[in-house]
Amino acid sequence: MASCDSRELCTGGKEEELCAGYLYKSPPAKHFKSQKSWKRRFFLLLKTSEAACCLRYYASGEMKKHELLGTIDLSQVSLMCLCPETHSMWKWVHTNFRCSASCVLFMKVVDRDYFLIAESSCDIDRWFSALFDALNNRPHRLHDPKEFGRIRDIGIPSCSSNTNQHIESDHKEDGKAEDEEDTKQRFNSGI
């Protein structure tokens, strides 16, 4: 996915608007607990090519090129979730913004964490769906199994690769019977 520099517009031909609206955006970590640092921004999710999207934010909905405040590089998102009640900063966010968890979206990007707060749970659901689709459509690099090793059942002790292949094939044939027997043994032993 093409990335967007935080101060430049994405380029690449015709852009399609996928989602737009106002959200409160968390500041960088060093200013996180300063409520004045949280800003209401106009966000715009654009599809810039078949497999690339760009999330821009502006000071207001009247977007002019010089008003672009930044972008969130969607190719760098490693985690996105709604209702981030388990996050260590959730209690502070909830106390200071008096918002329901259902109105909050959390995104972890390589260089920063973002809390985005909407006026309603319907608004944040709309954003989550649009962002999820954008992230789901980005190109993925398929890894070669030889590069990362073979997958094996964690219940099987590690062995040489030849023995491991044999155990895997035997385990697949008898998998259901072994699973039932393992479950019975765990239940009877109190695990």
Listed range (17-26, 104-113, 163-172) with the worst mean pLDDT: 163-172
DSSP state of 142: P
CA–CA separation, 40 and 37 (whole Å): 10
Domain interval for residue 96? 16-136
Q: Looking at 102, 118, 136, which one is the last position of a domain? A: 136
Same domain, 29 and 120: yes
* Mean pLDDT, residues 153-173 taken together: 47
Note the pLDDT of residue 3.
Answer: 43
Same domain, 102 and 127: yes
pLDDT tens-digit readout, 2-32: 445 433 344 445 889 999 999 999 999 999 9
Note the pLDDT of residue 187.
Answer: 46
Same domain, 157 and 88: no
Same domain, 160 and 132: no
Whichever domain contains 94, its CATH number is 2.30.29.30
Yes or no: say if 106 and 113 are a contact pair by the CB < 8 Å rule: yes
Same domain, 132 and 153: no
- Residue whose pair of structure tokens reads 């200071």 in the numeric block: 96
pTM: 0.66
Same domain, 104 and 35: yes
Higher pLDDT, 80 or 179: 80
Q: What is the DSSP string of 146-157?
A: HHH-----TTSP
pLDDT tens-digit readout, 75-106: 889 999 999 999 999 999 999 999 999 999 99
Nearest CA-CA partner of 182 in 159, 145, 153: 153
The number of domains in the chain is 2
Residue 90: alpha-carbon gap to chain centroid: 17
Same domain, 107 and 83: yes
